[in-house]
Amino acid sequence: MATVLAALGRAIAGRPLPFVAAWLILAALGFTAALGGFGEGLFPRLSSGDPSVPGEARDGQQILQDNADTGGGLTLLVDGITATDPGLVDPISAARTDLTDVDGVLRVLDPLALPGGPAGPAAAGLVAEGGDGLLVVVDLEPDLTEADSDATLTAVQTRLEEAASEITSTVSGARALVGGTRPLITAITDQVSADLATGEGIALPVSLLVMIVVFGGFLAAGMPILGAIASIAVSLLGLLGFSYLIDLDASVVNVVTVLGLGLCIDYGLLIVSRFREELRKLLPPPGAWPGGDSMAVYVKTANNEHVRTALAATMDSAGRTVVFSAVTVGISLAGLLLFTADFLRAVGAAGISIVLVALLVALTLIPALLAIAGPRMVRPGVLQRTPGLRRVLRRFGDISPPEGVFSRLGRGTQRRPILVVLGVLAVLGLLAAPVADLQLRNSGVALLPESAPQRQFFDTLTAEYPTAGFPALEIVGRASPEQMTGLAELITDLDKSFRVAPPREIGSAYSVVDVFSDGDAASPAAQNLVDVVRAEPLGYQTWVTGQSAGLVDFVDAIKDRAPLAIAVVVLATFVLLFLMTGSILVPLKALLMNVVSLGASFGVLVWVFQYGNLSDLLGFTPT
């Protein structure tokens, strides 16, 4: 491998421009395609929903979909005023008339048009519990083609938003929101796109500042950043390709893009730093050449052969390390392919491709940029010539003096290694302690900030319309509604905090009982109810599905496959590190360090995001 990498370094040093041009073209194509320059872009193709695995919950959802009497729909939510306010009559009546005439609309459920009006029993599920709001539900016909469904939803959403705008502008104190599965997915994918831009807008400048300190100048610091930008562009292009093969959840994009960004900067930092070291070795020491101590003078003696030699040596050493690192990360991500959850498989497959992109950037684009820069990479930068910063840069830069902060730290740890190990393990163990209380959750609407209209829509729907939101459980039975009445009564007796809707018939052979939660639909109580219902002998076949059941199946699937995935990753990583180092102790130490550091990382995640610590500072709502 070393000979191949060294030869690659020499080849790139001889003709760097074609490599840079190829990456420029790929980056331009990536950004253009991902943002929709050639048609549908990446973000409109993303989906969002609860992670699912093969099992009872997924089978139950399939039965519900196959026997649904509607093809989905949208809802207009009005609150802040009483449902009987006369100002609602004209805009809602006009919207109802228009929507009824839209091709593909099955029915419009408007409490103002039902017998008895908003106060009548027929409108019970469409009026807020406190009476200060109402819902207008538009259902689509079942069996519409995807194109027809999209066209109908677009027309319905446009008309409902017109009605919402009219209500909020003419009725004092009223708030009107249009919501449903389609607007929710659009809102989440838009939020992911915005978060991605914000995150990278922060990460790239901060990374640049850190590397300016490390390298003491803008030229060397910019190399890993340019590589990271190219990596992001090509990664987005790869994710766009994946979206045509598998359903990509919006969260996958953020996960793998951040992974690629971190790896590319890390690998680029290593390559650039080693190249500067190797090129300095080929130059005479300060004062040995005419021109005195000035690096700016004697660096000019470096010729193309110096650059080729330095780049070959860099690829022979740092390049080999990068390859082993990328293979190790790829093996870890490959472990996700052993799980049955589509979400985890998507992260694994897309992540492996992103690692490959980061590796190619580090082995081709970064060396090509270094070859073009040549001897300028070791010329003192502006910051290194600044008196106030020179001392800091010399201590923390990539070429530091023999005596510095880290050398003193290293000697200190070597004097009392056992004490240091015990102290560090104690701190990491303390950080890892919250892991014992880790609770896996489905994000769903919680991915959106509380100020987002779709978040407000679903939060209000859950709070004010208990039987109109998403059920915590849906129990599908191959039975009649009368046969399932006993099950509904059993659930009511088990836990009074759940609202149980009367059994309803779906299709010709099934019935369903919807169970709604006053609080979190995926709470431990809801998950416990899933286990109780599944264990109950009912005399007919049932499928327990819904948010909490899906989460139970997801967690069980992870527990089932985790031992195999961990064993494969640990074994492969051990073998790879053994081949790289020739030592048995080093791979064991690396694996133990990973376990401890991962435990501490997950502990901090629980302490911050589950317990809600630092939520005000970081601006999030704990779940």
Q: Mean pLDDT over residues 472-477, rounded?
A: 93
Q: How confident is the model at residue 292 (pLDDT cuts 50, 70, 90)?
A: very low
Q: How confident is the model at residue 211 (pLDDT cuts 50, 70, 90)?
A: confident
Structure tokens at 179: 């919501």
- Examine the pLDDT at 397 and tell me if it is beyond 70: no
Structure tokens at 405: 């902060």
- Examine the pLDDT at 300 and tell me if it is beyond 80: no
Coil vs helix vs strand at 503: coil
pLDDT in tens, 524-538: 888 899 999 999 999
pLDDT in tens, 73-127: 999 999 999 988 999 999 999 999 999 999 999 999 999 999 888 888 888 889 9
Provide the CA 535 distance to its chain's centre, in angstroms.
35
- In this prediction, residue 623 carries a pLDDT of 67
The fraction of the chain above a pLDDT of 90, given in percent, is: 43
The fold of 81-173 is Alpha-Beta Plaits (3.30.70)
Token pair 């052979």 is found at 509
pLDDT in tens, 419-455: 998 999 999 999 999 998 888 777 678 778 888 999 9
Q: 185-400 maps to which CATH number?
A: 1.20.1640.10
Q: State which H helix or E strand residue 189 sits in.
A: helix 181-215
One fold for 185-400 and 447-551: no
Q: How confident is the model at residue 293 (pLDDT cuts 50, 70, 90)?
A: very low
Angle in degrees, CA 149, 154, 159, rounded to 5: 130
Angle at which helices 320-334 and 342-360 cross, to 10°? 170
Cα 185 to Cα 12, 274, 465: the distances in Å are: 45, 46, 21
Q: Would you mind telling me the total number of residues written for the chain in this entry? A: 623
* Range from 188-202, 237-251, 364-378 that averages highest in pLDDT: 364-378
- In this prediction, residue 406 carries a pLDDT of 67
- Cα–Cα distance, 513 to 476 (Å, whole number): 7
The fraction of the chain above a pLDDT of 70, given in percent, is: 91
Looking at residue 316, the DSSP 8-state letter turns out to be I
- In this prediction, residue 249 carries a pLDDT of 79
Top pLDDT among 596 and 246 is at 596
Q: How confident is the model at residue 305 (pLDDT cuts 50, 70, 90)?
A: confident
Every domain of the chain and the residues it spans:
81-173, 185-400, 447-551
Q: Mean pLDDT over residues 339-350, rounded?
A: 88
- Residue 565's CB is within 10 A of a number of other CB atoms, namely 19
- b/e map 162-172, b = 16+ CB within 10 Å: ebbebbbeebe
Top pLDDT among 61 and 209 is at 61
Token pair 């409902």 is found at 160
Q: How confident is the model at residue 384 (pLDDT cuts 50, 70, 90)?
A: low
Quote the pTM value: 0.80
- Cα–Cα distance, 620 to 360 (Å, whole number): 36
- Cα–Cα distance, 447 to 454 (Å, whole number): 11
- In this prediction, residue 306 carries a pLDDT of 82
Top pLDDT among 1 and 29 is at 29
Top pLDDT among 310 and 383 is at 310
- Examine the pLDDT at 213 and tell me if it is beyond 80: no
- Cα–Cα distance, 252 to 358 (Å, whole number): 17
* Least confident residue range of 129-138, 150-159, 298-307, 328-337: 298-307
Q: 447-551 maps to which CATH number?
A: 3.30.70
- In this prediction, residue 399 carries a pLDDT of 54
Are 149 and 104 within 8 A, CB to CB?
Answer: yes
Angle in degrees, CA 308, 5, 593, rounded to 5: 120
* Least confident residue range of 47-51, 149-153, 155-159: 47-51
- Cα–Cα distance, 405 to 603 (Å, whole number): 29
Angle in degrees, CA 470, 475, 478, rounded to 5: 140
pLDDT in tens, 590-600: 889 989 999 99
Q: State which H helix or E strand residue 79 sits in.
A: strand 73-79
- Examine the pLDDT at 228 and tell me if it is beyond 50: yes
- Examine the pLDDT at 188 and tell me if it is beyond 90: no
Q: What is the mean pLDDT of the chain?
A: 86
Q: Where are the alpha helices (DSSP H) in 471-546?
A: 485-494, 524-535
